[in-house]
Amino acid sequence: MNRSWPQLAILVMWLALPTSAWTYWNVWERLPAQMAVHFDANWQANGFTTRDGAMKMGLGILIFMLVVFTIATLLISYLKPPAVWPALLISYVVVGFCWYGNYSIVKFNLNAQAAHSELVGATSPALSNSAQPFSKLQL
């Protein structure tokens, strides 16, 4: 079996890092100072950090996953070549999920909307409390 194609597939997987970094860099000045980075089951933001913190956390997780899956896939390709396809598939799915997470966080924060809940009416005092974290995200 030709052993050069797994290395090429791993190299292509690393393209997730510069594309994620470019996503942040391209819109850096338009990102709010406080970014939503954690969401509840209704996709309402409930965790915030600085934009620098969001970038470092997102890219840090992506780098960690790339290193782990690079080492694992290389070891599998040398020790058990028939298992390299499933290893690459799992690697691409997880790295793709991390890449999409970075993209989604940037996109959400560029298009930040005021908090909305169908259970809270316009006259409810909870409306001002639930919208409070988002007031910092308005561009």
DSSP string of 55-75, one letter each residue: HHHHHHHHHHHHHHHHHHHHH
Six token digits for residue 103: 């993209």
CB–CB of 74/3 below 8 Å?
no
H or E element, residue 40? none
Angle, alpha carbons 93-99-103 (nearest 5°): 140
For 26-85, how does the pLDDT look when each residue is reduced to its tens digit (9 = 90+)?
999 999 999 999 989 988 888 999 999 999 999 999 999 999 999 999 999 999 999 999
DSSP string of 115-129, one letter each residue: ---TTS-TT-THHHH
For 90-117, how does the pLDDT look when each residue is reduced to its tens digit (9 = 90+)?
999 999 999 999 999 999 999 874 444 4
